[in-house]
Amino acid sequence: MQDDAFGDDSGKQAGNHPDESQWAIDTLAIRAGQMRTHEQEHSEPIFPTSSFVYGSAAEAARKFAGDEPGNIYSRFTNPTVRTFERRLAALEGGERCVATSSGMAAILSTALALLQAGDEIVASRSLFGSTVSLFDKYLGKFGIKTRYVELSDLPAWEAAITPATRLLFAETPSNPLSEVVDIQALAEIAHRHDAWLAIDNCFLTPALQRPLELGADLVIHSATKYLDGQGRAIGGAVVGADALLEEVFGVVRTCGPCLSPFNAWIFSKGLETLGLRMKAHSAAALELAQWLEAHPAVERVHYSGLESHAQHALARRQQRAFGAVLGLEVKGGREAAWSVIDATRLLSITGNLGDAKTTITHPATTTHGRLSDDQKAIAGISDNLIRIAVGLEDLEDIKTDLARGLDALTA
Ligand SMILES: *Cc1c(COP(=O)(O)O)cnc(C)c1O
């Protein structure tokens, strides 16, 4: 079966609304990528179908040969998935987006598409835990080596690059310490050494930060987080120039980590409120960070929106706001941190984030629990550190919930 060939309808961002290039980001989030069917539906439709049919044997032959555009099979293309891809591509300012079954599938597909045995990655030390496992345990098995550097230390990035380096990979701001890297400067370093820069933009989303505009080659998303925004589905995406994304698309359609139409529909609807949500998350997180910083039981707050943050000026320059995630160190050790977490009644004790519901977690014993003591020390994951991903509940209720444990520490 010649399932490798098909034409223009192969997920390229063709056929956009004629005015799209004039639209602001909040309009794109609501309107971009929708393809209304002959039913004239107002909201985006869902196409839960594995395959597509043809009017004749000749039409099927043309579609399989790639002589005529059109859907064949939902591992390759699906209209609902395409709407999400086109909407996210528009928001990130990228030529093309390929959706995947999870954020990890987006990173894996990118690596499979761009790298081969003998190639190297340079990545920031403060990455999502599964990303580190993917790089070391699985890509390592196929002869791809990853070197880790301090996120904000540009000379360290450059020093870690070798002739085999093909990809630089970073998350900014970092989780949970909110460290920031200068994306534009990092892109210049990558390009000087013939490497690509990929930015995992999960924490800020295109509503607050657009890495492609700053010179990054690829943006990676876990749609599971703020693109959905309500903790309902797992998914991911890669955005960038058409030529690179054609390679990523080849991996997804052949190897199979494709996004389900139902989840794509959830994410497209999630994007409609992305701008509003990210503004509200950020405003609440900033106010909470300032309030925590002034609390006598708090030793330190890590949030790039605070004046006290070492890279506040850079964060202001490259971000529209500072996102929902903050780290706070309480006075005391693990017991003190756990007592604050356990005193909450509203916040959800969970390692997840990107939800309307505020979440609280103790990184040293959960998300970063597998690191050795030395690795934790290098990464700044201390025993008294708590991570909060600020949701959309009333801020006074969130403060009341945290004050219960914090006040008890100083009583
Ligand atoms: C959650 C997350 C991922 C992985 O995404 P999944 O959808 O869980 O596979 C990757 N990067 C970051 C920064 C994340 O927070």
Whole-structure pTM value: 0.94
Q: Is the pLDDT of residue 4 over 70?
A: no
| 307 CB-contact burial (10 Å; exposed 0-12 / middle 13-18 / buried 19+) | exposed
- The ligand 1 atom nearest the CA atom of 171: 13
Instruction: Show the DSSP H helices in 220-273 as ranges.
Output: 242-255, 261-272
pLDDT tens by residue, 152-197: 999 999 999 999 999 999 999 999 999 999 999 999 999 999 999 9
Which of 132-141, 172-181, 372-381, 387-396 has the weakest average pLDDT?
Answer: 372-381
- The ligand 1 atom nearest the CA atom of 352: 1
Q: Is the pLDDT of residue 13 over 60?
A: no
pLDDT tens by residue, 49-82: 999 999 999 999 999 998 999 999 999 999 999 9
DSSP symbols for 171-186: ESS-TTT-----HHHH
Which of the 8 DSSP states describes residue 136? I
Q: Is the CB of 224 under 6 A from ligand 1?
A: yes
Positive/negative CA dihedral, 373, 124, 271, 285: positive
Residue with tokens 């079954």: 101
β-sheet with 96-100: strand ranges across:
96-100, 236-240, 218-222, 196-200, 165-171, 120-124, 145-149
pLDDT tens by residue, 259-305: 999 999 999 999 999 999 999 999 999 999 999 999 999 999 999 99
Q: Distance, CA 331 to ligand 1 centroid (Å)? A: 30
Structural contact between residues 91 and 26, judged by C-beta atoms closer than 8 angstroms: no
Which stretch of DSSP H or E encloses residue 238?
A: strand 236-240
Q: What structural domains does the chain harbor?
A: 4-271 (3.40.640.10), 275-410 (3.90.1150.10)
**Mean pLDDT of all residues in 232-243:** 98
Q: Band of the pLDDT at 3, cuts 50, 70, 90?
A: very low
Structural contact between residues 92 and 137, judged by C-beta atoms closer than 8 angstroms: no
Which of the 8 DSSP states describes residue 241? -
Q: Is the pLDDT of residue 5 over 50?
A: no
Residue 173 preceded by cis peptide, ω within 30:
yes
**Mean pLDDT of all residues in 5-19:** 50
- At 127, list the tokens: 């990455």
Q: What are phi and psi of 222, to 5 degrees?
A: -95, 105
Which of 41-50, 86-95, 371-380 has the weakest average pLDDT?
Answer: 371-380
Q: Distance, CA 152 to ligand 1 centroid (Å)? A: 21
**Mean pLDDT of all residues in 106-115:** 98
Residue 372: per-residue pLDDT: 86
Q: Band of the pLDDT at 368, cuts 50, 70, 90?
A: confident
Q: Distance, CA 351 to ligand 1 centroid (Å)? A: 11
**Mean pLDDT of all residues in 107-120:** 98
Q: Distance, CA 378 to ligand 1 centroid (Å)? A: 22
pLDDT tens by residue, 315-367: 999 999 999 999 999 999 999 999 999 999 999 999 899 999 999 999 999 98
Q: Is the CB of 226 under 6 A from ligand 1?
A: no
**Mean pLDDT of all residues in 26-40:** 93
Q: Is the pLDDT of residue 32 over 80?
A: yes
Q: Distance, CA 59 to ligand 1 centroid (Å)? A: 40
Residue 397: per-residue pLDDT: 98
Residue 15: per-residue pLDDT: 55
